[in-house]
Structure 1
Amino acid sequence: MAGRWIEQWDPEDETFWEAEGKHIAKRNLIFSVISEHIGFSVWSMFSVMALFMGPQYGIDPAGKFFLVAVASLVGAALRVPYGFAVARFGGRNWTIVSAGMLLVPTTALFAVMEPGTSYTTFMVVAILTGVGGANFASSMTNINSFYPLRLKGWALGMNAGGGNIGVAVVQLLGLLVIATAGATQPRLLVGLYIPLIIVATVLSATYMNNLGPVKNDSGAAKEAVRDSHTWIMSFLYIGTFGSFIGYSFAFGLVLQNQFGRTPLQAASLTFVGPLLGSLIRPVGGHLADRLGGARVTLWNFALMTVAVGVVVAASVQKSLALFIAGFIVLFILTGIGNGSTYKMIPGIYRTKAQAKGLMGEDAQIYARRLSGATMALIGAVGAFGGLGINLALRQSFLTSGSGTSAFVVFLGYYVLCFAVTWAVYLRKPARTAAPAATTEKKPQLSYAEV
């Protein structure tokens, strides 16, 4: 096995990639997925704990929505420092730290999860669970550096999908606990994760690597903040990942409070959407590799608009079957969109590098620097969508007793995402006549293939 630090790394070199690069990259991907998977489970733990919080806990639906919203907020905010920590400390080193930190919220939750605990205490523990959501940013930034551009859609999709599925797994385990031990034993679920976190931390320390060429570069972060594509892609990622994590956290609560499902009935349904959305994410990345991320993203937002329209209709008609069907399709589409939007990021900066006249290794370095920096920011802003969804649903239930008005707002957002994707990445640029005296040909920016 290679040393802890790898000083020479060029995945675009076919000979190097086939001889050793792909094997090292695959190994790091596998153990990155394991830690990220558990991180997502911890981050979404309160969405499952809410199913255990019966009347004896004294917390109303709005209070439960707020707990999961706080977890979403903290996870989103921490993605910025986590994303840049890879370049500062090394991918392996930071995975060890971030995985080990998951012991803090799980042991705290194990200690306090019982009736009589104050709402303030639950709020503090919800804040702690946010560290699980931050793992995504460092994991994606790290894996992005291991793979060549032609495989980034697939690799990032596998990494993110394997992590995202942690949401479905913790919900499925919650169902198992409720079905076998009852809704009064939440500690059984939390207790399952403590040894798993220890195992993941040890595996990361044993099998992962740091990449020397991925050096700390504050200049890249500053460039990413100033680049308009960072904020455009953040807007789109709110629509895909923000929807995925927001719906994952809120779906069970909506089923309980709008459709009167019991905790067991809700738990038996909530895991299906996140599971399918996670499994399909690599497919979204693969489609983007083949067809272009912008094209896949555009039509995916069109379908998301239709799907949430079905959810609105089901909410108005109080049709549980139609509501669940619409939501399952919506989850699947968020997974495809997650894969396609993240594939766009490295492609955008490779296109910009070519437009600057950069070639070969210089183009690779530019694209790697900027895509790594922007992923940290885009992943953070996108995760704030989960906060927005839970706050919107909270307000909707407070004012009308259902989520209908919130779903209408989400529909409008997807229409905006469709328009932005087309206008920025697929609309053909207007042709301008070049001055007669100018013979130099400047590269034309075209993002249709990103």
Structure 2
Amino acid sequence: MGDNGDPREEYGITGNPRRGLAMATLSFFAGLTTIAFYGVAGPTFQEALGISGALLGLLLSSPHISKVILRVPFGAWVDDIGARTPILILLAMTIVGIAGLVGTLVLFYPDDFGSHLYVPLLVFGILAGAGSATFSVGIAQTSYWFPEDRQGFAMGAFAGAGNIGPGVFNSLIPVLIGIGGLAIAYSAWLVFMIVVTVLYFAYGANPYYFQLLDRGLDAEKAKGVAEEMGQEVFPAGDTWDSLRESSMNHWTWVLVFLYTVSYGGGFTALTTWYPTYWNLFHDMSLTMAGLFAGVFVVYGSLIRIPGGSLSDRFGGEDVAAVSFAVMVAGAGIATFATGITASFVGMMVLGTGMGIANAAVFELVPKYVPDAVGGASGWIGGIGGAGTLLVLPLLGVFVDVFGEIGYARGFSVIAGLSAACVAVSVALKFVGPDASGAADESAMH
């Protein structure tokens, strides 16, 4: 090393865990806003384009297509080169998508706006949604920055603060549309995304191990120096090694199931469902329905932060079991509630369980898949995020079968899935890595 023995100066290392968490969270906050890319102005686009409800539904879901497709490979890519380049590419794709929409609005809206623009708008939506894949990338980056005993806190802070993005923009964009129209509103979104990308380019840094690889050190030497600087979690291979190894680890798929129920089939599904639920089942105005749904989004996101700290303190398995039990209780209340007060209580109990469960699941990733955190994060974030596409149709079936009361009875789906997750979480205490390790140690004695 150098004369003062400081690896930072000798190898030109930048960044630290706190800054790494802040920049990963900022990129995720900005990128995730695009899952609501067309939703905030859905009726306006439907009327202007003259399209059917089915085509509108496809347009609204276009950002989710790239979210599901890109989270897996980009999350795994972190194990190869770190998160900086993947995040910048995803943000750049998002900028291209938003810029395409802004240009289309400036050139054609409202006079020449019609169904002939549908396919380009679909493509712009898919590109814009790329930003939401920053979730699996940021999860992996955050995991490599922080020691094992602070994984829960770090994951909770990252996901908790980052998940607020869609709720903020769902409230902000309609106001901007009212003030200046569609082009102005989406232009403001574009400027915001560009600013975030520039900030990440300037201040985002890979964890020490990846920076040392970039300085020319071999993997063994880079790991040794990074360990001296405090890094504890390391990848075992490159992108495809990470994907392959994590996919062959059965614990990855257990975590995928838990996350699918708590997030994709839970939190994200209800984020989309609640505005309709409050509007049509409780006869609220769209403004009030959106406000109630917004409370659920913000609260359920922020509670991830203490949920992560709880997971560090008490263990992810125990916290997951309790939080999924809380989800069972919340869904049970919502299933039978017909009044606004009881329904609101059910919603908040659900938000509590879902937020804490989300944090608990990712606290378990480095423990259960320690050699392929990026790959596991990709599978969990990608497939788990697709749970929305399964649960939302099920909720709709309950309305078709039972009529108006089906809006409440549909929560029984969440209750049943949550109960299964309670059983799985409890079982992990007896068959998980810690349990098997304890058994091996007992056998040795």
The change in CA–CA distance for 1:171 and 1:135 in structure 2 (over 3 A counts) is same
Does 1:204 pair with 2:204? no
State the partner residue of 1:300.
Answer: 323
Superposition pairs for residues 227-238 of structure 1, below 5 Å? Answer: 227-238=249-260
Task: Give matches, 1:285-434, under 5 Å.
Answer: 285-314=308-337, 317=338, 319-349=339-369, 367=370, 369-399=371-401, 400=403, 402-426=406-430
SS for the counterpart of 2:372 is helix
Amino acid at match of 1:197: M
Offset of residue 285 of structure 1: 0.7
Mapped to 2, the partners of 1:61 and 1:34 lie a distance apart of 34
The corresponding residue for 1:131 is: 130
Tell which deviates more after alignment, 377-386 or 203-212.
203-212
Question: What runs of 5+ residues in structure 1 fail to find an aligned partner?
Answer: 1-7, 10-19, 350-366, 433-440, 446-450
Name the SS of the counterpart of 1:380 in structure 2. Answer: helix
Q: Percent sequence identity over matched residues?
A: 26
Distance 1:428 1:192, change over 3 A: closer
Q: Which residue of 2 aligns with 1:40?
A: 32
Q: How does 1:92-241 map to 2 (within 5 A)?
A: 92-110=84-102, 117-118=114-115, 123-174=122-173, 176-177=175-176, 181=179, 185-210=181-206, 211=210, 212=213, 216-241=238-263
Corresponding residue for residue 19 of structure 2: 27
CA distance in 2, matches of 1:373, 1:91: 13
Q: CA 1:292/1:194 → structure 2, altered by over 3 Å: closer, same or farther?
A: same
Q: Deviations over 1:65-109 (max 9, x none)?
A: 555445334312221011022234432222222122211332344
d(CA) in 1 for partners of 2:161, 2:326? 24
Cα pair distance change 1:46/1:207, threshold 3 Å = same
Give the match for residue 72 of structure 1.
64
Task: Call closer, same or farther: CA 1:107–1:417 in 2, change over 3 Å.
Answer: same
Report if aligned partners of 2:271, 2:296 keep a CA contact under 8 Å in 1.
yes
TM-score normalised by structure 2 residue count: 0.78
Q: Which moved more, 1:108-117 or 1:36-45?
A: 108-117
Change (3 A) 1:280 1:65: farther
> How far apart, in 2, do the equivalents of 1:323 and 1:64 lie?
29
Structure 1 SS opposite 2:351: helix
Deviations 1:188-223 (A, max 9, x none): 432221111111111111112232355625333212
Give the superposed CA RMSD.
3.3
TM-score (norm 1): 0.78
CA distance in 1, matches of 2:123, 2:40: 17
Contact 2:307–2:360 (8 Å) recurs in 1:
yes
Contact 1:62 1:397 in 2 (8 A): no
Q: Is the CA contact 2:72–2:377 (under 8 Å) kept in the aligned structure 1?
A: no
Match of 1:264, SS?
helix
Identify the range of structure 1 (57-66 vs 389-398) with the bigger mean alpha-carbon deviation.
57-66
Does the CA contact (< 8 Å) of 2:71 and 2:135 recur in 1? yes
Counterpart amino acid of residue 204 in structure 1: Y
Could you tell me which residue of structure 1 aligns to residue 303 of structure 2?
280
SS of the counterpart of 1:101? helix
**Which residue is equivalent to 1:3?**
none
Number of residue-to-residue matches in the alignment: 396
Note the residue ranges of structure 2 that are not aligned, 5 or more in a row. 1-6, 214-221, 223-234
2:225 corresponding residue in structure 1: none
> CA 1:410 to 1:22, structure 2 compared with 1: closer, same or farther past 3 Å?
farther
After superposition, the C-alpha distances for 1:139-196 in whole angstroms (9 at most, x for unaligned) are: 1111111111011111111111121111221122145447x649xx444432221111
- In structure 2, C-alpha distance between the alignment counterparts of 1:393 and 1:51, rounded to whole Å: 22
For residues 396 and 282 of structure 1, what CA distance do their matches in structure 2 show? 33
Q: Evaluate the alpha carbon distance shift between residue 110 and residue 23 of structure 1 in structure 2; reply closer, same or farther with a 3 A threshold.
A: closer
* Cα drift, residue 121 of structure 1: 5.8
Q: Contact between 1:36 and 1:139, CA under 8 Å: does it hold in 2?
A: yes
* 8 A Cα contact 1:98 1:135, kept in partner: yes
CA distance in 1, matches of 2:65, 2:88: 23
- CA-CA distance at 1:347 after TM superposition: 2.2
Query: Taking structure 1 as reference, are residues 87 and 344 closer, same or farther at Cα in structure 2, changes over 3 Å only?
Result: closer
Contact 1:254 1:403 in 2 (8 A): yes
